[in-house]
Amino acid sequence: MNLMKRIVLILFFFIFSIGLHAQSIVGAWESYYTSKDGENLRSVVIFSEKYQVATTYHATTGEFKNTNGGTWSLSGDTMTEKIEFDSQNPDRVGTEVTFAVVATETTLSIVGNENQFKRIDNGQPGKLKGAWLMSGRIRNGETQNRDMESPRKTMKILSGTRFQWIAYNTDTKEFMGTGGGTYTTIDGTYTENIEFFSRDNSRIGAALQFNYEIVDGNWHHSGLSSKGDPIHEIWSLRK
């Protein structure tokens, strides 16, 4: 085998191994730990193909503590995240952070951080897995489109079993709210089981059911909101 062929093969296997490594991160991960104040906390991270969200809340009561997220990429063992929202430290919005990670099929660790994350799911079954932006609403039979390039965003990230929505503004660095937990999709019914809700702790433990269908690649989501108001939302996958 000549030198050029050897180089091509080495590059192929290097790129292929990075792809496998990156793919293994996609899904949901969790870590339980005790805070300095003695609180029992749970941190959950959801990775879609390009976007991620990390959230901490009280493991027993569901009381929301903080959330942050944005885009991510993995090169070897180095992860780079560009922050789109941070409820605790908005000055980080727009910045990039880089850190080393150690990942296996079942565990994920940040080098220098003693907390280890365990895998919840690998993106399966996840009929709605991915990062979605609210792109419109239907009211009184009329579709009202929403500019997906606007800095004011409502994003929902889903893994195989978990979901989280986040409302934020990348220009003002404002965080408006979030909620999340587990979800199922059965026979056209999308059910959210709320484990945390930043705006109202009384919503924790609620199970909300909606009709859902994919129309031209968009997720149509209809039913009653957590306030009991009728909704028909349209969500589009982020590019």
Residues of the chain with CATH 2.40.128.490: 130-237
What integer pLDDT is reported at residue 227 of this predicted model? Answer: 80
- Report whether 149 contacts 158 (CB < 8 A): no
Residues 130-237, CATH architecture: Beta Barrel (2.40)
Kindly indicate the confidence band of residue 144, based on its pLDDT and cuts at 50, 70 and 90. very high
Q: Which string of DSSP letters, residue by residue, matches 162-180? A: EEEEEEEETTTTEEEEEEE
- Residue reference for tokens 């028909």: 232
Q: Which CATH class is domain 3-121?
A: mainly beta
Which residue is listed with tokens 């290097």? Answer: 14
pTM of this prediction?
A: 0.88
> Is the pLDDT reported for residue 124 higher than 70?
yes
Report pLDDT digits (tens) over 167-195: 999 999 999 999 999 999 999 999 999 99
Stretch(es) of the chain classified as CATH 2.40.128.280: 3-121
Phi-psi group of 173: left, alpha or beta (phi > 0 → left; psi -120 to 50 → alpha; rest → beta): left
Q: What is the pLDDT of residue 226?
A: 76
pLDDT digits (tens, 9 = 90+) for 11-63: 333 333 444 344 489 999 999 999 999 999 999 999 999 999 999 999 999 99
**Tokens representing residue 213 in the block:** 């269908």
As a whole number of Å, the end-to-end CA separation of the chain is 40
